[in-house]
Amino acid sequence: MPRPQPHLEEVLASEPGSHIAALFDFDGTIIAGYSATAMLREKLQRREMSVEEIAETANVIAQHSLGAIGFSGLMSGAAKFMKGVEEESFVQFGEELYKKHIARKIYPETRAIIEAHQAKGHRVAIISSATIYQIEPTARDLGISDIKCSAYEIEDGVFTGDIIRPLCFGEGKVIAAEELAAEYGLDLDQSYFYSDSDDDIELLERVGKPRPLNPNMKLKAIADERNWPVQRFASRGTPSWVDYTRTIYATGSLIGAFAAGLPIWALTRSQREAVNFSMGLFGDFATAITGVELEVEDERHLWSSRPCIFIFNHQSKADVMILAKLIRRDMGGVGKKEIKDIPILGKLMEWGGTVFVDRADGKSAIKAMEPLVEAIQKEGKSICIAPEGTRSLTPKLEPFKKGAFHLAMQAGVPIVPIVIHNATDVAPKNEFVMRPATVRVTVLPPVDTSDWQVKTLNAHVRDVRNMFLRTLGQPEETVAESVAKEAAPAAKLEKAPKKAATKKPAAKKKPTPRKVKKA
């Protein structure tokens, strides 16, 4: 059963209205760990810090840890090494940092709380001592437009090496909240503030509903003393040895499941029955060992129109075991060609009916899928495809490619949409470890493709994608948006300048993170 989430349940039962604010700290509250640590690690990996900068940074961090300097001194130390750096380079750095490190650290439980506040019409904002370059990509993902944060001084698009005071720390966060309250007519006495640190005690005391999330020891003690409700999340952060063990066993179980099917193949000479047995066994074992439970709505649609093209939104590497458990038999699939070269795994997937395609070569991909039409029409197999092409970075649905829709038309079979709501709870993109979770799945009614034509395919793709968007509670794509999206690549090609015959290598810029509303 899903674990209770008292903070979420409170919001769902709360008073609606834009006069109520839901304020969130960033590090440790919205994401697990510290974005500054991820930023420092990334710069070290890129070898973009001089020996002097590494030594000085270590010294400043040590002094701050020992209490010799405060947060202002820590920020001033960081700002010094940014003097003369273009702000735009930090904007790009922040985007890359989000994709590589930050996105997978977002707590799904906090995301749910934020979405609940937004559904109630509350004014959601981030108030953090971090900089905009660390925060903005995540805020954009979460649909949060109001950000109050610490800021570096900038002149003519270049960092001066100084900071803007007051920083968004301690009493500075209260100032930031009061500014938001004055701007939007908020009642802070009815508002929420979520934080993990006792450094935020001033703002926690200022709002009417202080809500510690993943609190440190000092904040936990304060919360216990004042009877503030506390909640902790284990879905992100440092995995336990149990999490690693679950993941390794689940991943390796694919080999074990196919090995278990070999006697069936040897004795019956039926590869199909062997694969069906192995696929179902893998799905059952892998989901059980990782602690993944499925809540499936309208499961009957999985069986009502086979053979068919199953399409699903691809959020996580856990999708493979989820689909194996759901579909179970007579299934083929499509995978990127790089998987084929993975020892053992590539061969097993090929044996199990997966066709590998080169996504960069459209003509090659279409030709490679020709055997799938035969498998559907002559063998009665259903094919499973992720029309997004790859795992999405967040639960938000990405644009659909048309391969699955062309295949359905050629084979003359329906499309059955499988909507996976929250597989990122198990393992987001770029995360190795899988964790226990309850995953919601909705199987939509089969979509008849018998009267589809190539000239109307864009409209059909949009309609099916909108089915996913509606089910996921995300904004649907309009006809105008669809037309603009189709026209964009051609327009971009027309406007693209001709390449020069020779080109000097660009001078390297010192990378690093952009600006928004400052406290």
* pLDDT at residue 340 in the model: 65
Residues 6+ apart with CB under 8 A from 307: 330, 376, 380, 381, 382, 383, 411, 413
Flag whether 5 is in a domain. no
88 and 158 fall within a common domain: yes
106-119, pLDDT tens digit by residue? 999 999 999 999 99
Size of the chain, expressed as the number of residues it contains: 519
267 and 123 fall within a common domain: no
CA–CA distance, 60 with 70 (Å, rounded to integer): 10
- How do 437-443 and 292-297 pair as beta strands? parallel
CA–CA distance, 154 with 211 (Å, rounded to integer): 34
Q: Among residues 199, 226, 253, which one ends one of the domains?
A: 226
Q: Per-residue confidence of the chain (519 residues) as pLDDT tens digits?
A: 445 688 999 999 999 999 999 999 999 999 999 998 888 887 777 777 777 777 777 777 777 676 777 778 788 877 888 888 899 988 999 999 999 999 999 999 999 999 999 999 999 999 999 999 999 999 999 999 999 999 999 999 999 989 998 999 999 999 999 999 999 999 999 999 999 999 999 999 999 999 999 999 999 999 999 999 999 998 998 888 999 999 999 988 988 888 898 899 889 988 889 889 999 999 999 999 999 999 999 999 999 999 999 999 999 999 999 999 999 999 887 766 666 666 666 666 666 667 666 655 555 556 667 778 888 998 899 999 999 988 998 889 999 999 899 999 999 999 999 999 999 999 999 899 999 999 999 999 999 999 999 999 999 999 999 999 999 999 999 887 777 766 665 555 455 444 433 333 333 344 333 334 444
Flag whether 405 is in a domain. yes
Largest CA distance in the chain: 77
Work out the number of other CB atoms within 10 angstroms of the CB of residue 17.
12
Q: Is the pTM of this model over 0.85?
A: no
In this structure, the dihedral spanned by the alpha carbons of residues 216, 222, 224 and 230, taken in order and rounded to 10 degrees, is -50
Flag whether 236 is in a domain. no
CATH value at residue 94: 3.40.50.1000
Q: Among residues 226, 250, 279, which one ends one of the domains?
A: 226
Give the residue carrying structure tokens 């037309």: 483
CA–CA distance, 230 with 75 (Å, rounded to integer): 30
Q: Among residues 201, 226, 251, which one ends one of the domains?
A: 226
The structural domain count of the chain equals 2
Flag whether 513 is in a domain. no
DSSP assignment string, 130-143? EEHHHHHHHHHHHT
Which candidate, 30, 197, 33, places its Cα nearest to that of 111? 30
458 and 419 fall within a common domain: yes
290 and 421 fall within a common domain: yes
Beta bridge partners of 23: 125, 193
Give the residue carrying structure tokens 């925060």: 135
Q: Which domain holds residue 281?
A: 241-485
Work out the number of other CB atoms within 10 angstroms of the CB of residue 300.
9
Per DSSP, the three-state class of 440 is: strand
Question: If phi over 0 gives left and psi between -120 and 50 gives alpha, with beta otherwise, what is residue 31?
Answer: beta
379 and 287 fall within a common domain: yes
Flag whether 168 is in a domain. yes
130 and 268 fall within a common domain: no
* pLDDT at residue 511 in the model: 38
282 and 199 fall within a common domain: no
Q: What angle do CA 317, 321, 326 make, to 5 degrees?
A: 130
Q: What angle do CA 447, 448, 454 make, to 5 degrees?
A: 105
401 and 301 fall within a common domain: yes
306 and 444 fall within a common domain: yes
Residues 6+ apart with CB under 8 A from 383: 307, 309, 310, 331, 332, 333, 334, 372, 375, 376, 404, 407
74 and 185 fall within a common domain: yes
Flag whether 220 is in a domain. yes
CA–CA distance, 216 with 491 (Å, rounded to integer): 52
Per DSSP, the three-state class of 212 is: strand
Flag whether 464 is in a domain. yes
How many alpha carbons fall within 13 Å on the CB side of residue 489?
3
349 and 203 fall within a common domain: no
* pLDDT at residue 177 in the model: 97
215 and 302 fall within a common domain: no
- Note the helical H segments in 143-270: 171-184, 201-206, 217-226, 241-268
H helix or E strand, kind and range, residue 379:
helix 370-379
Per DSSP, the three-state class of 184 is: helix
Query: What is the Cα 427 distance to its own chain's centre?
Result: 9
Give the residue carrying structure tokens 């890129």: 46
Contact yes or no for 133/93 (Cβ under 8 A): yes
Flag whether 419 is in a domain. yes
CATH value at residue 390: 3.40.1130.10
